[in-house]
Structure 1
Amino acid sequence: MRSPTVLITGCASGIGTETARAFDERGWTVYATDPDRDDLEALAELGCETATLDVTDAEQVDTVVERIDDETGRLDCLVNNAGYGQIGPVEEVPTEAVERQFDVNTFGQHRLIRAALPIMRRQGHGRIVNISSVYGRTFFPGQGAYTASKWAIEGLSDALRVEVSDHGIDVVLIEPGPVETNFGNRALAETDRLEETGAYDWFYRLFDEDRYDRRFLDKAVGYIQPERVADVIVDAVHAKNPDARYVVGPWKYQLWLGSLVPTAVRDRLFETVKRLP
């Protein structure tokens, strides 16, 4: 009997790399993908199959999924991990940058879902794991574009979960809190695209790496390592009856609190944060 097959996007580093390793250790046939295949050499040496995949390229998406079907005849799990962070006041983020954020973080997941579902329906089972964030259910000022892309994934996944349940397919959301990966570096690099207005001094203070050491990015209170997220993903895929959502890290308590605190109170708290020196 052939081992189960998983397709994982965004495997060059961080959560994607560790998830590929974790599935490989559990005996899965792993297809690890990333826009730059050269970044996947270590996973190839481990025994993973690798492929070039930019999730914004529909042709590449179809090519990779067709390859998996041709080579294995099955696709048991899709892990939609590819994505990146972007920071900046909403006014200062160019609309084209917001479009790019959604094209990768949201539409990219949708492209993979559409390509994978026909195989999963044919075989009568499958599990789709969409990587969201705690910011898929809350927010932080200065991260509006990223937060919006993750809120969209939450709604899409909830609808999809009900739609495909008759076909033996489960849909799971993974909601990590801050994770020490390249997320922070990429988010800070994206600030070069901002169209500064001079109206948001607080943003440039809070996200000054020298001042606060990325405490409002990937090194916030309770930040975790990518291996921990990978373990949760693999456990969720092996669970007989998986939860709809898995919050990874101590931020689940902030989410619970956030659902109880009135919006006006929460907003006043953020106003206090904006006044940090």
Structure 2
Amino acid sequence: MKKKVALITGASAGIGKETAIELKNRGFIVYGAARRTEKMKDLSDLGIHTISLDVTNEESMVNCVNEILEKEGQIDVLVNNAGYGSYGAVEDVPMEEARRQVEVNLFGLARMTQLVLPSMRKNQFGKIVNVSSMGGKVWTSFGGWYHATKFAVEGFSDCLRMEVEPFGIDVIVVEPGGIATDWGIIAAENLRKVSVDGAYEKAANKSADNMVKTYTGTLLTKPEAIARCIGKAVTVKRPKTRYLIGFGAKPMVFLKTIFSDRMFDKIIKRFS
């Protein structure tokens, strides 16, 4: 029986890297894709194929998918993991940066999906995993543009799921909570940078301090846990449509369901 082929975006670190390893261990032919190919040498050493990919560049995305299809003849699993968090008050974040956030977190994901679907439809099989966030269900201070992209990924995935189901393709949304990666440190740095000398500086620095404290602590979930979740989701016959997993994810989403928006705002402000 021919091995299934998996493509993982954002595979140079964190969840993407661990997912590449997990799927390789599960017997997949794995392609780990990222801009920083030099960060994936350890994946190459494990027998994982590495490939250059910039999800903001059309030529890069087309070349990536075409190269895999030419070599393997199919792509059975796409894990749309590439993304980042751009934090800052809506008033402070330059529109150029806001557009980049949407380009990476939503449009890149959408375009990669478009590119793999013809092959999946032809084979009447496919698993598309969109890595969203608990931030696609709840919100945090100064995360307007980031949360906008993740809320959008949720709706995009729901519509896509109904469109492709007749072709034997599953769409799976993974919603991580707090994960032990550099994501929060980078987001905190962005928040401080755009808030300098502005009306939101004091509150933004407080939020950034709390983010750094959280992301340098010991409570967060290891990215390996998310990788195992993805590994299970793409190998079972009938996966869930959503997997809410990781530190704080289920409690936060539950609180959102029982409190009003304004009450939830107060809870978030207390911890950020």
For the aligned pair, the TM-score class normalised by the smaller chain equals over 0.9
Shift of 1:37: 1.3
> Are 2:222 and 1:225 aligned?
yes
Q: Secondary structure at the match of 1:78?
A: strand
Q: Secondary structure at the match of 2:32?
A: strand
Aligned-residue sequence identity (percent) comes to: 37
Could you say which residue in structure 1 is the equivalent of 2:146? 146
Could you say which residue in structure 2 is the equivalent of 1:268? 266
TM-score, normalised relative to structure 2 = 0.94
What count of residue pairs does the alignment treat as equivalent? Answer: 270
Give, as a single letter, the amino acid of the residue that structure 1 aligns with 2:185. Answer: N
- What are the within-5 Å matches in structure 2 for residues 84-123 of structure 1? 84-123=84-123
Could you say which residue in structure 1 is the equivalent of 2:207? 206
Give, as a single letter, the amino acid of the residue that structure 2 aligns with 1:203. Answer: A
> Are 2:76 and 1:76 aligned?
yes
8 Å contact kept, 1:94–1:195: no
CA RMSD of aligned residues (A): 1.8
- Provide the C-alpha distance between the structure 2 equivalents of 1:273 and 1:49, rounded to a whole number of angstroms: 41
> Are 2:8 and 1:8 aligned?
yes
Alignment equivalent of 1:245, drawn from 219, 227, 242: 242
- Provide the C-alpha distance between the structure 1 equivalents of 2:227 and 2:271, rounded to a whole number of angstroms: 31
- Provide the C-alpha distance between the structure 1 equivalents of 2:269 and 2:69, rounded to a whole number of angstroms: 52
8 Å contact kept, 1:134–1:251: yes
Shift of 1:179: 0.5
Q: Deviations over 1:170-223 (max 9, x none)?
A: 000000001111212321332365154532212211212xxx46246x468952
Could you say which residue in structure 2 is the equivalent of 1:236? 233
Could you say which residue in structure 2 is the equivalent of 1:59? 59
CA change 1:47–1:272 in 2 (3 A) is closer
Q: Deviations over 1:4-44 (max 9, x none)?
A: 00000011111011000000101100001110211111101
- Provide the C-alpha distance between the structure 2 equivalents of 1:59 and 1:145, rounded to a whole number of angstroms: 26
TM-score, normalised relative to structure 1 = 0.92
In structure 2, list runs of 5 or more residues that go unmatched: none
8 Å contact kept, 2:134–2:175: yes
- Provide the C-alpha distance between the structure 2 equivalents of 1:219 and 1:167, rounded to a whole number of angstroms: 44
